[in-house]
Amino acid sequence: MNVLNYESVALDDDNGALIILDQTKLPCEINFLHLKDIKEIWQAIYKLQVRGAPAIGIAAAFALYLAVKNFDVDDFETFFARLHEAKEYLNSSRPTAVNLSWALNRMEKTAELNRDKKISEIKILLRDEAVKIKAEDSEMCRKIGEYGLTLIKNGDGILTHCNAGQLATAKYGTALAPIHLGRERGMNFHVYCDETRPLLQGARLTTFELLADGVDTTLICDNMASQIMKNGWVNAVFVGADRIAANGDSCNKIGTSGLAVLAKFYKIPFYVFAPTSSIDMNIKNGAEIVIEQRNENEITELFYKQRTAPENVKVYNPAFDVAENELITGIITEHGIARPPYSSSLKKIFEKD
């Protein structure tokens, strides 16, 4: 079964369900969950059964529509209050990826701008808006891939971290979009995938996705990145982002910051790929980004038959870190490539949007 033939997030409106590809089961099992209850969807987002900033935003938009679809109310104020409550609940599932709040705020705004319409009409508009968010993500990723392809040539070696591919988006991905588009055009690359401790998204998801697309793929442990850079095997580092500050500081899966430091030392270009929905112009720098803290068992026992650390040992398990803007060669969006200084180049991108 080719995982690229499946959608990671979909709406089954007839049955009132959100369909997600359970990414905690990959690569051993392709399993789809049909979720109808908002609490189930909250858990799916928190547990990373659906993951990747763009995919989380899409799932949240569908979830909010499904949550209000059966609200049996006639007046707008009551409807909107309950919609807002559902929105805030979904938004609490994960604090770092800005796409979650971005999509939910967009849905809420759709309802507010149509307050003069019948509740039944507003529900339809909310469904259409969620479908539009997904369609836009697919097109945004394709454009990101086109810009990314201008940065590499056939045969290049590329290092990536976590999973910023099709599994994390509607199609193509962000950091992996140039790879997938290049493969469509007969190009070949050698991609080195960090395993991405502790949840192993690189090992379980990125390698699975790239192999399905026929990409020459090598899995490495996270602490091997310096060696392959020293060997001269890496021409560029491609990573995604869950939130980017106005100054270009980029928050991504834990371990990304270290790669940026290494790339700077070895004079390898370090590129961040993200749609504008992942850029938060309301925060000045990375210090303002809330970093999600995950359960300690992800490190001590989750992927092991036996516990690998002593009981009662202290565990620090941040889900993300921040690569400072001075370490980043370029930020690739659907509107083009931003270069330093990011405080001005990102602002110009939003003026195009």
Residues noted as catalytic: 242
Residue 1's nearest CA partner among 24, 21, 18 is 21
Peptide bond into 310 cis (omega under 30): no
Q: Give the Cα separation of 241 and 239 in Å (integer).
A: 7
User: Beta strands of 178-241 (E only): which ranges?
Assistant: 190-194, 216-220, 236-239
CB 63 within 8 A of CB 129: no
At a CB cut-off of 8 Å and minimum separation 6, what does 199 contact?
48, 298, 302
Peptide bond into 318 cis (omega under 30): no
At a CB cut-off of 8 Å and minimum separation 6, what does 205 contact?
23, 26, 27, 163, 165, 167
CB 255 within 8 A of CB 161: yes
Residue 19's nearest CA partner among 32, 2, 4, 38 is 32
